[in-house]
Chains A and B, each alone.
Chain A
Amino acid sequence: AQSVTQLDSQVPVFEEAPVELRCNYSSSVSVYLFWYVQYPNQGLQLLLKYLSGSTLVKGINGFEAEFNKSQTSFHLRKPSVHISDTAEYFCAVSDLSGGYQKVTFGTGTKLQVIP
């Protein structure tokens, strides 16, 4: 069964500093990986996704993530954060065993950008 672990529940970082939000997944078959952002009292918005091909994926708002199959990780990075990046970030996975239909979400990481 697929699962996702986001070890950091909260990550405080100063404005204009770099940030990395960690995500590890568990699956024995081929996976699709996603990062979503959620602003307060709103739905989720896709930041980026990995389906196949290049392991470095670039998304919206200057975010990028790298798929590392040997470490089963898909960490999210941004070289310089802004106040507007303050939100909750969810890593998600769907795998071949379910025909990639079912998406499992991690518990989320709250990014707090400090002015």
Chain B
Amino acid sequence: GAVVSQHPSWVICKSGTSVKIECRSLDFQATTMFWYRQFPKQSLMLMATSNEGSKATYEQGVEKDKFLINHASLTLSTLTVTSAHPEDSSFYICSAREASDGTGELFFGEGSRLTVL
């Protein structure tokens, strides 16, 4: 199947700094990518839908100025956690779908674990 790669897989940063996480579709083009946040022992919470060439669509309650999403090309979306604080520590996962009609499988990245000290 198609491959989605995330980088970095682990990141530790100091409070107040910004962290960028990359999500790449390696062998297909993804006009839409999705960013999720997963708290321990909980499900995935959709944060935003990243659209190539346009602004991301954020879910209710997600601060767009806090979590900056850029989808500059058909194979790359980035999530930047700005001025990170300990409560931002979490497992962040991206996904992408080959088909634009919703029938295609969602391919997930390996996830990025962010720890803010």
> A interface vs B, CB < 8 Å?
9, 32, 34, 36, 41-46, 49, 51, 90, 94, 99-108
| Residues in A neighbouring B95, C-beta threshold 8 A | 43-44
> B interface vs A, CB < 8 Å?
1, 4, 6, 32, 34, 41-44, 46, 49, 91, 93, 95, 101-103, 105-111, 113
| Residues in B neighbouring A42, C-beta threshold 8 A | 110-111
Nearest chain B CB to A48 CB, angstrom units: 10
Partner of A99, one of B6, B102, B107, B109: B102
A-B contact count (CB 8 A): 54
Bound-complex Cα distance A100 to B93 (A): 20
Bound-complex Cα distance A53 to B54 (A): 36
Known contacts A43-B110, A43-B111; can you find 15 more A-B pairs with CB under 8 A? A9-B41, A32-B102, A41-B111, A42-B110, A43-B95, A44-B108, A45-B108, A46-B1, A49-B105, A100-B102, A101-B49, A103-B106, A106-B43, A107-B42, A108-B43
